[in-house]
């Protein structure tokens, strides 16, 4: 026991807490965190989606769950390593100093290599991740656009230390109005758009989203007895069926 404690103390003092090894250890930690987070996020989501909306044997469904989980976790881990490595390289090329454009360039390279490059770049899992990120970017940019610039603690503490961009030049009353109504407008327009697309162009939606919406909205209009009405056992409405329903009205 004493030997194990001594070994632990040696590793911590000479390696883990040694500034010399901090950059490569940060890459290892980024890899680990990407794997863990990707697994925690994707596994329960894939488990529910596959077992609710996919047909097949238990073995086939389990394989789909594991495949989606593995891809999500692996891609987040690869992106984390690519991003951290690019940041280290860019800082090194810039004399050890970080520039404002480094994070953008590192994210650009990592995003292309992991999520936009090769045959798996446009997979359903990658599309979900990118669309999720894109939605958050839009929300963040909207906040920056209306938030006035400033270096006071209240503003800068929320907006990266230097406030927003104030592109619209809003006064305090107008800014409060935008804050109060921006999320309702964004949520309403998002749902209005996706329901319109699902109603008339369902094939353009991501497959898992289309399956979910088919189950909730299209299949809710079809049953043949009390059991199918209560248990929702009707066969899934395929895009062609959706199209025929649209054309018949």
Number of domains in the chain: 1
What CA–CA distances, in Å, run from 15 to 8, 11, 20, 22? 10, 5, 8, 8
What CA–CA distances, in Å, run from 79 to 17, 85, 126, 136, 243? 25, 10, 12, 18, 39
Q: Which helix (H) or strand (E) holds 142?
A: helix 124-146
Tokens of 179: 């804050």
Q: Which domain holds residue 108?
A: 1-118
Domain-embedded: residue 31: yes
Dihedral (CA of 45, 51, 52, 53) sign: positive
Query: Nearest-CA neighbor of 26 among 73, 74, 85?
Result: 85
Domain-embedded: residue 14: yes
Domain-embedded: residue 91: yes
* Phi, psi angles (nearest 5°) of residue 157: -65, -25
Domain-embedded: residue 158: no
* Phi, psi angles (nearest 5°) of residue 235: -65, 150
> 175 with 199: CB under 8 angstroms?
no
* Phi, psi angles (nearest 5°) of residue 149: -70, 160
Exposure on the CB side of residue 187, measured as CA atoms within 13 A: 5
> Whole-angstrom Cα distance, residue 150 to residue 145?
13
Q: Is 163 helix (H, G, I), strand (E, B) or coil?
A: strand
Domain-embedded: residue 145: no
Domain-embedded: residue 79: yes
Domain-embedded: residue 140: no
The pTM assigned to this predicted structure is 0.71
Domain-embedded: residue 236: no
Q: What is the pLDDT along the chain (249 residues), one digit of tens a residue?
A: 677 777 777 777 777 788 888 888 889 889 999 999 999 999 999 999 899 888 899 999 999 999 999 999 999 999 999 999 999 999 999 998 988 889 999 999 999 999 987 766 678 888 888 988 998 888 778 777 777 776 555 555 565 666 676 767 777 788 788 778 877 787 778 878 888 888 888 888 877 788 878 877 777 677 676 666 666 555 544 444 344 433 433
Find tokens 């490569």 and name the residue.
24
């Amino acid at each position: 026991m004493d030997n194990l404690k001594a070994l632990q103390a040696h590793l911590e003092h000479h390696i883990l807490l040694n500034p010399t090894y901090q950059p490569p250890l940060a890459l290892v930690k980024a890899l680990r965190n990407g794997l863990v987070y990707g697994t925690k996020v994707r596994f329960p989501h894939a488990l529910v989606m596959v077992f609710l909306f996919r047909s097949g044997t238990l073995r086939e469904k389990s394989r789909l769950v594991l495949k989606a989980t593995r891809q999500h976790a692996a891609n987040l881990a690869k992106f984390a390593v690519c991003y951290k490595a690019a940041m280290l390289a860019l800082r090194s090329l810039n004399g050890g100093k970080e520039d404002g454009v480094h994070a953008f360039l590192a994210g650009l390279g990592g995003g292309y290599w992991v999520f936009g490059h090769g045959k798996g770049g446009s997979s359903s899992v990658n599309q979900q991740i990118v669309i999720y990120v894109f939605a958050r970017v839009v929300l963040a940019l909207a906040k920056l656009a209306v938030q006035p610039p400033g270096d006071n603690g209240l503003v800068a503490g929320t907006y990266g230390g230097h406030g927003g961009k104030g592109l619209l030049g809003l006064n305090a009353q107008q800014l409060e109005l935008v804050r109060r109504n921006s999320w309702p407008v964004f949520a309403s327009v998002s749902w209005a758009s996706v329901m319109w697309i699902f109603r008339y162009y369902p094939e353009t939606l991501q497959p898992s989203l289309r399956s979910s919406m088919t189950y909730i909205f299209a299949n809710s209009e079809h049953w043949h007895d009390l059991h199918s009405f209560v248990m929702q056992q009707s066969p899934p409405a395929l895009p062609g069926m959706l199209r025929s329903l649209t054309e018949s009205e």
